Every structure is written in C-alpha cells, then in structure tokens.
Amino acid sequence: MRRVVDIEQWRRLAQDQRDAGRRVGLVPTMGALHRGHQSLVEAARANGDYVIMTIFVNPRQFNDPNDLRAYPRTPEADRDLAKSIGVDALVEPTMAEMWPAYPDPTPTTVSVAGLGDVLEGAGRPGHFDGVASVVTKLAIVTGPSRIYFGEKDFQQLAVVRRMVLDLGLDVEVVGCPIVRDDDGLALSSRNVRLDELARSRALALNRALTFASELDGPASAMRAVMRATMEAADVVVAYAEVVDPTTLQPLDDGATGRARALVAGVVDGVRLIDNRAVELRRGH
C-alpha cells in the first residue's frame, strides 16, 4: 500500500492508473475506520478499481468545536486496517494543502440548497457545505473516478449526487448498503463513545425504522411510530422523517411508493443517525 500526503503526488498517482487503463475508486473517510469503511473498499475492489482511500478529518463539516475535538483519531490502526483490506493507496493530506486559510474561514464554499439545509443540516448549520466542499476538492484532485459512500449517511449521499450532477464532475457516485453490528446498530465511528447502557438505548433507532417499514400505512403513521419508539428508550429525538429519496422533501399521506425513513437522536450526548427504504401506502 502506498502512502501519500502530497496533493500533486496524489493527482499524478490517480492519472498514472488511468493511463494504465485502470479505473480509480475513491473511498473518502475521516478515519476511525470500521467494517462500514471496509465494505466500501470491498465494493471498489469488486468493480476492479484501483482503490484510493483518503483520511482527512474535515473541520469545515463540524459546526460544534467540541464535536470536532471529540472525533476519534486512530491513525496507526487506520493504516494497518487499510493495508489489510486491500487499499492500494492511502492519502492523508495535510490541513495546509486541503484548506490553506485554516483556521480562518475558507473563502470558497460549495453549497447544495434544499438538500443540505434540512434534517441534519437544520440541526447542524454549515455541515453539508463542509461536506460538499471537501468532496468537491477530493473529486477534482483525484480526477475521473468512482466515488464510494455508505447509505448510512443517506443525506450526505443525496447531497453529493446532486452536487456531482449540477457541477458536471467526472465521477460516478456509488452508494453502498448500511453495515450493522450483530445487535442491529448501524456502524459509526461515534459508536465507541457509547457505554453498554447507552448502546442498548441506541438500538431504538434501528427498531424504530423496522417498525415503520412493517407498517401498512401512510407517512404520518410511520413518523409517529418512529418517534414513539425512540422516546420510549429515552432517546432525545432530533427528527423522525419520511422523505422523497431524491429531493429529501417530507411526504404527505397522499404519497405512495418508495420513500426513505430517516431518524436521528442523541444518546448520552452522542448524536446518531440511521435510515431505511420504506414503502408508502395511501392513508384511509
């Protein structure tokens, strides 16, 4: 596995692979790697891609400085895991190269209106501007490629897809299924901050989505059962929503067909998210 910290070396590496006839697969991460990240690498390898993984804790997507400070950083373990799962090149760019003005505000921002300011964006102002900006830079430096994201961060996936479409970036966005632990909790780098009791309460997010997906009813009934399930486990509910999978706009009881149920809640100070595809039926 090659390790790269220099943007120009990273750019040349990706171009050399394309010149050799290979497709580049980009797996962006903020480190604290787990099996969810491994599944993205496996998807890229299954597509025959030369896998470039980036590790960069992007400060621009944290609206809470305490959350940024608390974000787990495990560089040595990450490098060992990346090598063991078949990453071809691990890119760990410096802050100075990614955001030269930091810690001052970066003058250039990519913002996806409508998709980036609802749900997670409503509670975390500027978060998706930070996501869209860093993914744009990763895509520009890497060049033509497939870029892999997990569906666990479904809103992030929707934002990136819209951004790529609007900006005409030469990348193919690949969404990969949510990876869960044996108890059903969606894998997240934040899970390490949950003690045993908090983790048992956090399972209510997945349970809420399961109950919603089993309902033979409209969007309002799904919202109600998700919220009630989370509140019963003393989860502080940030939202329990049913939306159009592309626009992320809330759906009313006249809507039918495929939709996405999304939940977010806080357990002992740790904010968690989860989601699931659901099928809506008209209310009576």
CA 135 vs. chain centroid, Å, equals: 11
CA 188 to chain CA mean position, Å: 9
Which residues make Cβ contacts (< 8 Å) with residue 161, sequence separation at least 6? 173
Which residue spans within the chain are E strands per DSSP?
Answer: 2-4, 24-29, 50-55, 89-91, 145-150, 171-176, 236-243, 257-267, 270-280
127 is catalytic: no
Burial group, residue 212, by CB count within 10 angstroms (0-12, 13-18, 19+): buried
Which residue type does 200 have? S
**CB contact at 8 A, 40 and 176:** yes
> Which one is catalytic: 34, 37, 127, 284?
37
**Phi and psi at residue 145, to the nearest 5°:** -170, 170
- What positions carry a catalytic annotation? 37
